[in-house]
Amino acid sequence: MTESMVDLIQILTIGGILSGGVIWVCRSMTAPLKESLDRLNKAIDRIEQTMMDEQRSRLRTETWIQEVEDRSKGNAKRVEAMERQLTLLAQRIDTMDKEVHVLLETKGLR
């Protein structure tokens, strides 16, 4: 082996060691960042899931409220119909009561 080959091998060895050291330093400096990014991604996933759950819950609540409002409108219409029927019945009772009084007066029973 010639002296230049030995020098070349030494340079390559030192270069390999130095580049390995630089790579190790870079990885050791970026590892905490990677860990933080992983935690951040997990937190974002949890927030996204929570938002989707809340959105589903809100939709169920809005649907329930709409159903209640629809039932109340239907009930209000039924109540109004019953009130009209009661008014008509009260009028018929008044009319019948007057007819009974007139009939009793004509028969002399009153």
Structure tokens at 30: 């970026």
> Is this prediction's pTM over 0.85?
no
* Span 44-60, pLDDT tens digits: 999 999 999 999 999 99
Q: How far apart are CA 31 and CA 26, in angstroms?
A: 8
Residue recorded with tokens 């996204």: 48
pLDDT of residue 65: 94
* Span 22-48, pLDDT tens digits: 888 888 888 888 899 999 999 999 999
pLDDT of residue 86: 93
Q: What share of the chain in percent tops pLDDT 70? A: 97
What 3 state SS string does 35-92 have? Answer: HHHHHHHHHHHHHHHHHHHHHHHHHHHHHHHHHHHHHHHHHHHHHHHHHHHHHHHHHH
Structure tokens at 102: 């007139």
What residue ranges in 1-110 does DSSP mark as E strands? none
Q: How far apart are CA 91 and CA 98, in angstroms?
A: 11
Q: How many residues does the chain have?
A: 110
Is 101 within 8 Å of 110 (Cβ atoms)? Answer: yes
